[in-house]
Amino acid sequence: MIRLEHVSKVYKTSTRPALEDVSVEIDKGEFVFLIGASGSGKSTFLRLLLREEVPTKGRVYVANFDVVRMARRRVPRLRQSIGCVFQDFRLLTNKTVAENVAFALEVIGKPRNTIRKVVPEVLELVGLEGKAARMPHELSGGEQQRVAIARAFVNRPLMLLADEPTGNLDPDTSQDIMLLLERINRTGTTVLMATHDHSIVDSMRRRVVELSLGQVVRDDSRGVYGVGR
């Protein structure tokens, strides 16, 4: 599903590589935590998968895409197979919950009938039935993140990338979000989550890939956050 082969990334503005000789393979349906301090390369890792960045060296494969060598015009196809969730939710404040979710389908040209059918379905899946007509500012942080997850998942992507999705949430709400991500994972969707949150990683007991100064320093199949320090 995801394979990085000896990937290095050096940004023009920096002398130190953001990633250095990283090789990771993630199978279909896995749930993986990507941990590490700020500046360890987690964000770069995720950006490479989306082809927001191109590696300086090495190869990146996502689903059936050779991410490094693919033509620019095929990048949208790659991104359609990846759902994304962020710490800051990134909702459109002038659109309702349902419109925010529908937006993701509208801009890739899905027919209106399809949109009308699948948007309520996915809102129900994330537990927001009955809040379709609310505006984002009327929702709690946890609810807003559910909208973001609904938007990321509505097109049934092969994988979900989550960049510190609980970073702005209190522990209880974070727990709810993790349950939701687990549920999505159980539908066969690969989930890759970058996080700082010890308690979540420790309680979930899933595969943990730890980055430090751009290198993979640990890859445990049932890891916890703190081991090895």
Which residue's structure tokens are 């990507």?
Answer: 34
Residue type, 34: L
State which of residues 78, 125, 159, 193 lies at the interface with other proteins (CB under 8 A): 78
Within a 10 A sphere around the Cβ of 75, how many other Cβ atoms? Answer: 15
In three-state secondary structure terms, 91 is coil
Residue whose entry in the numeric block shows the structure tokens 């998942």: 153
Can you list the positions of beta strands (E) in 70-200? 82-86, 159-163, 190-195
Indicate which single residue of 12, 13, 15, 73 sits in contact with other proteins (rule: CB under 8 A): 73
Question: Helix or strand or coil: residue 191?
Answer: strand
Q: Nearest distance from residue 119's CB to other proteins, in Å?
A: 14
Q: Check residue 103 for interaction with other proteins (CB under 8 A).
A: yes
What are the structure tokens assigned to 119, written together? 């948007």
90 makes contact with other proteins (CB under 8 A): yes
CA 62/CA 209 separation, integer angstroms? 17
113 contacts other proteins (rule: CB under 8 A): no
**Residues 47-66: x where in contact with other proteins by CB under 8 A, - otherwise, as a string:** ---x----------------
Which pair of structure tokens corresponds to residue 173? 């709400």
Which member of 7, 60, 98, 104 binds other proteins (CB under 8 A)?
104
The tally of CA atoms less than 13 A away on the side-chain side of residue 166 is 22
171 binds other proteins (CB under 8 A): no
Segment near other proteins (CB under 8 A); pick from 27-35, 37-45, 81-89, 177-185: 81-89
Supply the minimum distance, in Å, between the C-beta of residue 120 and other proteins: 19
Which positions touch other proteins (CB under 8 A)? 50, 73, 75-82, 84, 90, 92, 103-104, 106-109, 112, 151, 155
